[in-house]
Structures are given as structure tokens and as C-alpha cells.
Amino acid sequence: MMLIPCPHCGPRAHAEFTFDRPVEAITRPDETPDALVRNLFSRDNPRGPSRELWRHTYGCRSWITLTRDTATHAITDVRPVGADA
Amino acid sequence: MKYSALSLLRAGLGGHKDWPRAWRDPDPKPHYDVIIIGGGGHGLTTAFYLAAVHGVRKVAVLERSWIGGGNTGRNTTIVRSNYRLPQLHALMELSLKRWEGMSDEINYNVMFSQRGALFLGHSDSDMLQLAQKGDAMRADGIDADLMTRDQVARLIPLLDVSSTARYPVQGGLIQRRGGTARHDAVAWGYARAADRLGVDIIQNCEVTGMDITGGRITGVQTSRGAIGADRVGIAVAGNSGRVAALADLRLPIESHLLQAFVSEPVKPMIDTVIMTQSLHCYISQSDKGEIVLGGDPDAYPTYSQRGAPHIIEKAAAEALALVPALSRLRMLRSWAGTTDMSFDGSPFIDATPVEGLYFNGGWCYGGFKATPGSGWLFAHLLARGESHPVAAPFRLDRFETGHTMDEPGVGPMPQNR
């Protein structure tokens, strides 16, 4: 079980959260069809740190981004969505 | 040596001390016609059929750890072909037919037991969907029988079919030819059968790089040195993205995890594979007597092979509601496998943009049942350079062209399956 530090609610059990997609797969309205297909339907799928979009679905329902190691589940750099540098 | 009742008797008289090793432990040769990366069920069946059907004898299977140590030994051993889409019917039925002859074909008892695979329906809409699925299966020549609640109750007396049950049972759809098999035996049996045809099975040999010249693969770099090859096939489901990245390929796959767990062994109590249309819980009893349970995937990318307890809790709660008699059992072990989640739930058996490099993966959490069919089709592709008609729809570029095969119809997010 991962403990995810929600920027609004503090540390909460990961059962309260749902994974949406890696940040690389967030699509934008102004993308070309080729970029859209690439972003929607292919992945780096790294073993190691991955920047991801999650939602605190069963808590404050906010969207957040975080960096999570896909091998160790270590979570760092959690931000409200839109606050990415 | 050929395994038989006579060889068993002979070895038994000698106290079982003289069994020869089941396959050789060769050093890699400098060059092979075909290298298969991944010594799981799919890689081993591919190597076997390359040698047995296509006459390609200079074949190596490279396994990072040991044979049967990956997902082949981490599944819940269920075999069935009760899908809805015609492309998946063709694929899974080809596979199921190979299961039916497998133990004879490879001279190894894989304990394939066609005890029936039953999907329970819990509502009117469940029963409608099951009836539609059954019709689709029968139209493609696959056995399927819709069952009433009373018929289900007679088949599985321990199932709670009362009107007050947490998950009321209205009926079910059974594929009587479905069942289970001994998963380790599948890996060991195909390793031995392939080895007898001259295939080199090289364990503790991790692929660390691919030699690509002018868009064509010429070999692989491994932890045991460079090995040349005319053609290379990737069959490493779970780690497909990492191996494909060695050739600078990006795949329509995320690696997730699926947990399973088993109870202490008990006397026979469930002789059917129980699955359900509305829940995500499946129950069977192994030949050792353990109750084997599986549930939802954890639904996020991970290579940890370590799942969260709330998933186990949910699967256990559903299993207890369906079969209350399980409540006194103690769970012995739980584990997780890394699943190659594709974006439509269907696998890939296809050439890659690198000439001579072929890919087999994206089996989601349903690869075990497809083991012999996958190998049959991948061997065809590797030997001939073109897809078998059954494998033709399972292309890597199907998302770009719109030819997805989305069995549950839930769209392009792997965690929704």
C-alpha cells in the first residue's frame, strides 16, 4: 500500500486515489493527429521514476501530479495539477 | 529419454535417483538463425514450434533468470476461449485446441483438466450479456452453454444461490472445455521438448542491448556476451517496454500488476473454474487442493510485483460471498505478476519497424491460456516473415489505423480493464 501525500489533505492511503495516466500521455487540443496518437497510444513505460497524473477520487477529488518510482513505489514531488514547473 | 509408465516404473525401482536432467545447460553459440528473448511459456512454445513445425533448428531462448520463474509461474492457471470478438475467438480457440493435445505432443503431463469454466450472471443485464457472448461463441464453433440458476446450483453445491445472497446468482455461461493446467509443467515440458529438438535454452542470460545496423537487427548483447542472429523475437510480457526500448521502440503497453493468492490445501470442494460477469473474482481449486483466488488488477503502472492489501480484501470478500464455505480457510501465499497491459485488452503478434525484430506481448492478464497458440503464431511469423491469418489483426499499429479489438468496450486506458 502506498501512502500518497495529497497536497490538499496530507498523507492518505492509496486506495483513496486513482491513477489516470503518465503526464507524457496528457493530450492537448492543439496537437497534431500524429502527436495525439503517439501520446494516447504509446508509452515510455519506465522502470524507475515516472511523472504521473492521479486523482484523489475518494477524498478531496482533486487532480494531482506526482513522481513515482515504478519499481520501489517511492513518491516524491506531489503537486496540485497545473502547478508543474 | 521418453517419459512413459514404463520409465516411471523403472526409475521407481531405482528410488527415483537416476532421472536425467530434463534439458541441457548450453553456453551460447556465436550465432543463431532465431533468438527468442524470454524463456516463459510463450518464448518456449515459440522455440518448440519453430523447430517442430518449421524446421528451424538453430534457435536459442534467452532467459534473464530461470525457466518458469516469471509470469508463467505467477498466474492462476485458467485456460478458456470464452471471448466475444471473432478475432479473439480465432486466437484463443486455436490455443485451446493445442492445449487439448499438449501433454501428448510434448511427452510431458501438464495436468490439463477440462473441468469447465463458468461465468456467473448476477442480474438481467449480466444474463443478457452472457447469452450474447454464448451465441457469438457458438456461431464461431466454440462450445458454450447458458445455465439456469438451478443448473448452476447443481454444478457447484457450495455456491450461495439464495435470494438473500450478497451477489444473487441468476445463472451462468459455461465453457465445458475450459479448465486449468499445471503452469510450471507447461514451462518445463516445452523447455524439455524444445531442447530435444536442438533448441539452446540459455538461462541467467539477460539481454542488455540490440545490435542494429542500417535498420536491421544482427544480434543481441547479453550478460553472457554478444550473440548474433538473423531474426530476433521478443516474448517478455511484463517487461516488453524495457526490452523494446533497447531497440528505441515505444509500445502501446503499460506494465501493471495482478495479484493472486492460494489457501491451505483441502479436500475437493470446487471442481469448476468460477468467474463472474459483474465482479472481478475467480475461484478454482488446484490439484493439490489449494483454493486459488484472483481479483482486480491494481490499476497503475508498476514493476514491483507487490500489490496492495485492499485488492486482496476485495477479492476475498467477493469469494466469501459467493462460496461462504471458504470462510474457514487460511490463506497461505499471495503474490503478484507484472502484466503487459495493452490499450484495448488484446495482445500483439507482429513485426516491428526494425527489420528482423519481431514482437509478441501485450497479453494483459490473460496470457497463460494463450501459451501454445501464441507460440504457434509467433513461430509462423518468425519462420516465414509474415503473419499467420489468425495473428494478422494483432498489429502494433492498430491504434493509429483504428482497428482496435476492445473486448470489454471500455476505451483506451489500461487501468480500466
> Of B342, B364, B386, which residue sits at a domain end?
B342
> Of B342, B359, B391, which residue sits at a domain end?
B342
**CB–CB contact A70 B413 (8 Å):** no
**CB–CB contact A40 B412 (8 Å):** yes
Nearest residue on chain B to A38, alpha-carbon basis:
B400
Å between B160 CA and nearest CA of chain A:
29
Question: For residue B353, what pLDDT is reported?
Answer: 97
The answer to whether residues B269 and B173 belong to one domain is yes
**Does residue A1 sit at the B interface (CB-CB below 8 Å)?**
yes
Collapsed DSSP state (helix, strand, coil) of residue B330: coil
**Does residue A47 sit at the B interface (CB-CB below 8 Å)?**
yes
Collapsed DSSP state (helix, strand, coil) of residue B376: helix
Question: For residue B113, what pLDDT is reported?
Answer: 97
Residue whose grid cell is 490463506: B331
> Grid coordinates representing B47?
522455440
Contacts of B379 (CB under 8 A, 6+ apart): B45, B46, B47, B48, B49, B50, B53, B54
- Consecutive H or E run containing B384: helix B371-384
Q: Which residues of chain B fall short of a pLDDT of 50?
A: none
**CB–CB contact B251 A42 (8 Å):** yes
Question: For residue A14, what pLDDT is reported?
Answer: 92
Task: Count CB-CB contacts under 10 A for residue B35.
Answer: 29
Residue B1 belongs to a domain: no
Tell me the helix, strand and coil percentages in chain B, rounded to 5: 30, 25, 40
The answer to whether residues B264 and B412 belong to one domain is no
Residue whose grid cell is 479436500: B267
Beta strands in B6-100 (DSSP E): 31-37, 59-62, 78-79
A-B interface: how many C-beta pairs under 8 angstroms? Answer: 70
The domain of B400 spans 24-81+84-107+183-252+344-416
The whole-number average pLDDT for the span A36-46 is: 92
Residue B43 belongs to a domain: yes
Å between B281 CA and nearest CA of chain A:
18
Q: Got the DSSP string for B285-296?
A: E-TTSEEEEEEE
Q: What is the ipTM of this complex?
A: 0.95
The answer to whether residues B216 and B230 belong to one domain is yes
| All domains of chain A in start order, with CATH | 3-80 (3.30.2270.10)
> Grid coordinates representing B364?
494483459
Å between B84 CA and nearest CA of chain A:
23
> Grid coordinates representing B287?
490439484
Contacts of B363 (CB under 8 A, 6+ apart): B42, B237, B339, B340, B342, B347, B370, B374
The answer to whether residues B283 and B336 belong to one domain is yes
CATH number of the CATH domain containing B336: 3.30.9.10
**CB–CB contact A46 B241 (8 Å):** yes
> What residues of B are in contact with residue A71 (Cβ under 8 Å)?
302-304
The answer to whether residues B403 and B288 belong to one domain is no
The answer to whether residues B400 and B373 belong to one domain is yes
> Grid coordinates representing B399?
491504434
Nearest residue on chain B to A34, alpha-carbon basis:
B400
Alpha-helical regions (H) of B240-308: 240-245
Question: For residue A85, what pLDDT is reported?
Answer: 52
**Does residue A32 sit at the B interface (CB-CB below 8 Å)?**
no
Residue B395 belongs to a domain: yes
**CB–CB contact B253 A71 (8 Å):** no
The answer to whether residues B170 and B265 belong to one domain is yes
Rounded-to-integer distance, Cα B370 and Cα B80, Å: 9
Residue B17 belongs to a domain: no
**CB–CB contact B343 A41 (8 Å):** yes
Residue B16 belongs to a domain: no
**CB–CB contact A43 B308 (8 Å):** no
> Of B294, B326, B342, which residue sits at a domain end?
B342
Rounded-to-integer distance, Cα B417 and Cα B345, Å: 7
CATH number of the CATH domain containing B382: 3.50.50.60
pLDDT of A45 over the 70 cut: yes
> What residues of A are in contact with residue B308 (Cβ under 8 Å)?
1-2, 14-15
The answer to whether residues B261 and B298 belong to one domain is yes
Task: Name the residue among B341, B347, B262, B331 with its Cα closest to residue B303.
Answer: B341
**CB–CB contact A42 B299 (8 Å):** no
The answer to whether residues B216 and B326 belong to one domain is no
* Phi, psi (deg, nearest 5) at residue B254: -120, 145
Do strands B31-37 and B225-234 pair parallel, antiparallel, or not at all (unpaired)? parallel
> What residues of B are in contact with residue A44 (Cβ under 8 Å)?
241, 245, 250
Collapsed DSSP state (helix, strand, coil) of residue B211: strand
Q: Are A18 and A65 in contact (CB under 8 A)?
A: no
3-state SS record for chain A: CCEEEECCCEEEEHHHCEEEEEHHHCCCCCCCHHHHHHHHHCECCCCCEEEEEEECCCCCCCEEEEEEECCCCCEEEEEECCCCC
The number of folded domains in chain B is 2
Å between B309 CA and nearest CA of chain A:
7
Residue B362 belongs to a domain: yes
**Which residue out of B302, B401, B417 would a mutagenesis test of the A interface target, given it has the greatest number of A Cβ atoms within 10 Å?**
B302
Q: Are B213 and B229 in contact (CB under 8 A)?
A: no
**CB–CB contact A43 B245 (8 Å):** no
The answer to whether residues B53 and B76 belong to one domain is yes
**Does residue A44 sit at the B interface (CB-CB below 8 Å)?**
yes
**CB–CB contact B415 A19 (8 Å):** yes
The answer to whether residues B270 and B390 belong to one domain is no
Nearest to A42 among B239, B252, B255 (CB): B252
The answer to whether residues B124 and B154 belong to one domain is yes
Residues of B with CB under 8 A from a CB of A: 239-242, 245, 250-255, 299-304, 306, 308-310, 343, 399-400, 412-413, 415
DSSP code for B113: B
Å between B52 CA and nearest CA of chain A:
35
